[in-house]
Amino acid sequence: MTHGPVVVIDYDAGNLRSVSRALGHVGAEPVVSADPADIDRAGALVLPGVGAAADTMAKLSERGLVEPILEYIAADRPFLGVCMGMQALLLRSEEGDTPCLGVLPGEVRRFEPSPDRKVPHMGWNTVEWLREHPVVEGVPSGSYFYFVHSYHPTVSDASLALGETEYGVRFPSVLARGHLVATQFHPEKSGELGLRIYRNFVEWARRLSTASSPVPAAT
């Protein structure tokens, strides 16, 4: 495999441009596309997302993106999901009782709102790393990231959690398995440390494609 581009999946997600800008800022020259051929040639794939689960799944399905994404992830190629792009990876979401992609074993549950625990969970909260990972290299455990969501992921396999956050409940705010990483927070809106995560992801993907390339790419 040669160095494919970083492809951001285009399905009208609200944070599509913010994610693309952050990737551009760290030098990735992202390709924004809904074309399965672009997914196929991607060196790294990014699934953004905000809003409702049912709407997200419907749009992915309408655009014929579900199968290409599942095939890409099944091949364990570098993948980053952000916010709804993380939740979509689980089996299902309580939000409208929506079946999701089912890539990871777990469900998406609603925060219980109250006047002293507001929902959406909106603002900067801390993330504790549960292990080391190339994507969070140089980012201290306990760093602050920007969250905005009313539903949170849960996983039935605790080893999937890379980062954890507390908001009434402790929930896995970063999931990682093989070459897949997903964050509940918005790295593209989390200042320098958020950009560091994008930079780490892009460099990690680049190293992986170099390592697996039969012919060394020209520099």
Residue 139 or 182 having the CB closest to other proteins: 139
Q: Does 207 bind other proteins (CB under 8 A)?
A: no
Question: Has 100 been annotated as catalytic?
Answer: no
Span 92-121, contacts to other proteins by CB under 8 A: 113-116, 118-121
Task: Single out the catalytic residue among 71, 112, 186, 192.
Answer: 186
Cβ atoms of 135 and 176 within 8 Å: the answer is yes
Question: Has 132 been annotated as catalytic?
Answer: no
Minimum distance from CB of 176 to other proteins (Å)? Answer: 22
Minimum distance from CB of 215 to other proteins (Å)? Answer: 36
Task: Single out the catalytic residue among 83, 100, 121, 149.
Answer: 83
Cβ atoms of 135 and 143 within 8 Å: the answer is no
Minimum distance from CB of 55 to other proteins (Å)? Answer: 8
Q: Which of 210, 196, 108 is nearest to 150 (CA)?
A: 108
Minimum distance from CB of 22 to other proteins (Å)? Answer: 6
Q: Which of 60, 45, 50 is nearest to 18 (CA)?
A: 50
Cβ atoms of 34 and 12 within 8 Å: the answer is no
Span 148-187, contacts to other proteins by CB under 8 A: 148-150, 166-167, 186
Task: Single out the catalytic residue among 95, 121, 152, 188.
Answer: 188
| Burial zone of 216 (CB within 10 Å; 0-12 exposed, 13-18 middle, 19+ buried) | exposed
Q: Does 59 bind other proteins (CB under 8 A)?
A: no
Minimum distance from CB of 130 to other proteins (Å)? Answer: 18
Question: Has 188 been annotated as catalytic?
Answer: yes
Q: Which of 178, 146, 145, 142 is nearest to 160 (CA)?
A: 178
How far apart (Å, rounded) are the C-alpha atoms in residues 77 and 56? Answer: 22
Q: Does 62 bind other proteins (CB under 8 A)?
A: no
Write the single-letter amino acid at 2: T
Give the sign of the dihedral formed by CA 130, CA 135, CA 137, CA 138.
negative
Size of the site for other proteins (CB under 8 A): 39
Residue 64 or 191 having the CB closest to other proteins: 191
Which amino acids are annotated catalytic?
A: 83, 186, 188
